[in-house]
Amino acid sequence: MTKLLEAIPLFYYDVVAIGIYVAILFMIKKRNVQNKTKVLYLLSGISFVALLINNYCFYLDGWHWLTLLPFHLCYIGVIIIPLALLIKNTTLMDFAFYLCVPGAFAALILPSKDYIAEPFSLLTLSFFVFHFLNVAIPLLASRWGLYDPSPSFKKAIRVSLTGLVIAGMMHLLNLFLMSVTNLEINYFYTFIKYAAPTNPAFELLGSFIPYNYFYLWPGLLVLYGYMGFVFVMRSVSSYWKQTANITG
């Protein structure tokens, strides 16, 4: 178990999260679309509160408010997911499903050292809640037929470019804010020297490409792998449904 916790520091949280996801999935399975949508809005509200608590914990720990603006990928996800559900915008949901979901999942599996050091603190609990919901809400929306994540080359290119442009804008914002303050500001983790010490994933990427911002680009391989996985799962599901209809 010790080795497992070293590999997956928040393993206990992960197990509980999987249980909660499965419970929600099956408890609400037979409800109508309106009720399912309300559940997703409720979960979005919980996610937003968890984000506020998380930032407040950092603020109490001495972090400057300029470093706590909602400009990280998972912070953005907390905001755009309910917005996408509200206005039924497929483009926003694509961003949430194909960027925020794998990003939040990676953060849960490889959390920063701030959370590993205090695994049962309010800081870590709030972090886990809104990252878990960033994964769960888009998946539930897809599972319940409220969003169609159909993979395509066009979608892969659009989501990739959107992610790169936003990360580039955040890098410019980091440069500007650091030029007018004495703060270490690293939205989207575009600076290797600030990101690498907090997380082994950033350290690994930085060792391959030692250039700020550009070192994040290989992360798009995760997006493509995830999109391929979704394609395979949907194809298998479609095949079994067709087989069941024929034999039935």
pLDDT tens, position by position, 216-241: 999 999 999 999 999 999 888 877 77
C-alpha distances in angstroms, 102 versus 17, 106, 107, 136? 15, 6, 9, 11
Q: How confident is the model at residue 248 (pLDDT cuts 50, 70, 90)?
A: low
Place of tokens 């580039």: 168
Cβ burial 60-92 (10 Å sphere, 16+ → b, else e): eeeeeeebbeebbbbbbbbbbbbebbeeeeeeb
Residue 242 has pLDDT above 90, yes or no: no
Q: What whole-number distance in Å separates Cα of residue 151 and Cα of residue 209?
A: 28
Residue 132 has pLDDT above 90, yes or no: yes
For residue 81, the model assigns a pLDDT of: 98
Place of tokens 């929600």: 24
Q: How confident is the model at residue 117 (pLDDT cuts 50, 70, 90)?
A: confident
**Mean pLDDT of the 180-206 span:** 94
Helix (H), strand (E) counts: the chain: 12, 0
**Mean pLDDT of the 54-81 span:** 96
